Amino acid sequence: MNAIADGTADLNPVPQLALTTPLLAVIIGCLVLAAALIALTVVLSRPRRVPANAPRRGNHMTGGDAAAWHARIDGIVARYEAKELTREQAFVELAETTRDFAGAATGRDMRASTLRDLSSLPRNAGDRQGLDLLRQTVAALYPPEFADAALNRHAASINVREAAGWVSNLVERWR
């Protein structure tokens, strides 16, 4: 059989491809990518640094032992019912307890916070519910704490035990 007869005479062999340079570039690129991924993994696996003055957060940080806060609240009610505190003094102490608890839970000083201050505090997913409940509790405590019960029917209708329940509710529901 002849090469012309079967059509293979006009075929030229293909020269050897020069793949050394492109393959070398791909290998170097893969090594650089692997090194970058390793460095990224090391950096992201490190624990985050928290500044010393940053408030501590989490379910374990709810202002301490809830039983201690409830005991403080119950103590205010007991002293009021024993006539050791006036109604106004009891409301002042309940408001102080509310702010002290919130301060312990957030790591912020809340002793002089007004409703406007509480409304403008930065919130995140971890403390939004607690701060909103704090604002509501303080707002509910303001009328009986500051309003003249003789002139403000709403302020006069709130008793110390009811207000203590609001503060206890804050302690229980804080997140």
Q: Please write the tens of the pLDDT for every residue from 107-126.
A: 878 777 776 777 777 776 66
Note whether residue 91 is domain-resident: yes
Count of beta carbons in the 10 Å neighbourhood of residue 120: 10
Looking at residue 35, its pLDDT comes to 95
pLDDT band at 45 (very low <50, low <70, confident <90, very high): confident
Q: Are 170 and 137 in contact (CB under 8 A)?
A: yes
Q: Are 144 and 163 in contact (CB under 8 A)?
A: yes
**10 or 100: whose pLDDT is higher?**
100
Note whether residue 107 is domain-resident: yes
| Rg of the chain (C-alpha set) | 35
Note whether residue 145 is domain-resident: yes
Residues composing the chain: 175
Looking at residue 28, its pLDDT comes to 96
**Mean predicted confidence (pLDDT) in 75-90:** 89
Note whether residue 83 is domain-resident: yes
Note whether residue 112 is domain-resident: yes
pTM above 0.75, yes or no: no
Looking at residue 32, its pLDDT comes to 96
In order of 16, 78, 89, 108, the CA distances from 83 in angstroms are 105, 9, 11, 33
Picking from 3-12, 15-24, 33-42, 158-167, which range would have the lowest pLDDT averaged per residue? 3-12
Q: How many domains are contained in the chain?
A: 1
Q: How far is CA 141 from the centre of its chain?
A: 25
**Mean predicted confidence (pLDDT) in 151-170:** 75
Angle 87-106/128-146 helices, nearest 10 degrees?
A: 160
3-state secondary structure of 11: coil
Dist CA 19 CA 96 (whole Å):
78
Domain boundaries, position 87: 66-173
**Mean predicted confidence (pLDDT) in 60-74:** 75
Note whether residue 150 is domain-resident: yes
What is the percentage of the chain residues whose pLDDT exceeds 90? Answer: 15
Q: Which of 170, 73, 72 is nearest to 130 (CA)?
A: 170
Note whether residue 60 is domain-resident: no
**Mean predicted confidence (pLDDT) in 29-39:** 94
The C-alpha angle with vertex 62 and arms to 162 and 133, in degrees rounded to 5, equals 45
**Mean predicted confidence (pLDDT) in 30-43:** 92
Kindly state the helix (H) or strand (E) to which residue 96 belongs, with its residue range.
Answer: helix 87-106
Looking at residue 57, its pLDDT comes to 47
Note whether residue 111 is domain-resident: yes
